[in-house]
Amino acid sequence: MGARVFAISDIHVDSRVNASWVEGISAVDYVDDVLILAGDVSDSQDRIEWALEVLMSKFSQVFFVPGNHDLWVRRREYGSSIEKFGAILGLCRSMGVKTEPSTVTEDGGDEIHIVPLFSWYSEPDQNAADSLFLPKTGEDPDLSMWSDRRFIRTDPKVPNLAAYFLELNRERVDAEYGSTVISFSHFLPRQELIFSSGSKVKAVGGDPHPGFNFSRVAGSSGLDSQIRAVNARLHVYGHQHRNRFREIDGVTYISNCLGYPRERELGHITDVKDGPALVWDGAVVEHHGIGLGKR
């Protein structure tokens, strides 16, 4: 039997329903397995620690990268979101949660290299060449409803978060890995991943935020360059709260978000099971095997 790798993102445990979902993950089914947690746990560091403790008790290894919600500074406990980012990485080190590349050995002795990639979104007015931006009729270009505008506390020494996080990946991108690499990030690496690749999922209410253009804050094409530089076969990501399974130019991209309870009720997020999705079991798991229909 090969090594099993599971994935989940955007668990938002500030929601009691979501926290109960995390607690309800089997305590026996995954004890030999690896979990990739692709960001957005909570803006509260105490809740992040709680969630990581619960997941560490259920999986043999947990890999994590922070998302934008994790870096919100709402109570001025940190001088900047970058300072909070460092504190979260320190917390992970103290708990044994992996935020750096590591190797998982399969039963036959083959190695899987799991490579966490830090990331941020490239906004079109700041990083036009790297942005995933596409125009949207009726959008609010100032993103006044986007909570990052209020809760991401910038550091004057880091004016460009997207470039900062890509540079943090430099050493791990330049490293040598074996034949099997699984990478993951919070943000999207490609424009195509924003969209459905198949029949539309029937959801109640249509576009819930017609003035919001997600592509402005979706991710970064520079991230995809790094995914391909490490020769990843599989890349896991989150952020959009839409689950995807796409194969593009030799890389399989999987998003398995828990999202908010209301999104699941309205059908914007579907195929959420009782636990994270199996994405690797000696090979990339086909979409029908992990409950992720094409979207």
Supply the Cα-derived Rg of the chain in whole angstroms. 18
93: tokens are 């080190």
What pLDDT, on a 0 to 100 scale, did the predictor assign at position 196? Answer: 74
Residues in CB range of 130: below 8 A, 6 or more apart? 122, 162, 220, 221, 222
pLDDT along the chain (295 residues), means of 10: 88 97 96 97 97 98 98 92 98 98 85 97 89 93 92 93 97 93 98 75 60 94 98 97 94 96 90 89 69 34
Is 219 domain-assigned? yes
Total structural domains within the chain: 1
Model pLDDT, residue 209: 76
Is 295 within a domain?
A: no
The verdict on residue 36 lying in a domain is: yes
Residue 86: which CATH number? 3.60.21.10
In a domain, 179, yes or no: yes
- Report yes or no on 268 lying in a domain: yes
Question: Do 243 and 292 form a contact (C-beta atoms < 8 A)?
Answer: yes
**Parent domain of 249:** 4-290
Q: Is residue 240 situated within a structural domain?
A: yes
Whether 282 is in a domain gets the answer yes
Q: Residue 145, class by beta-carbon neighbours within 10 Å (0-12 exposed, 13-18 middle, 19+ buried)?
A: exposed
* Per-residue confidence (pLDDT) for residue 51, from 0 to 100: 98
pTM (two decimals): 0.93
Q: What is the DSSP letter of 193?
A: G
- Whether residue 255 is contained in a domain is answered as yes
The predicted pLDDT at position 176 comes to: 94
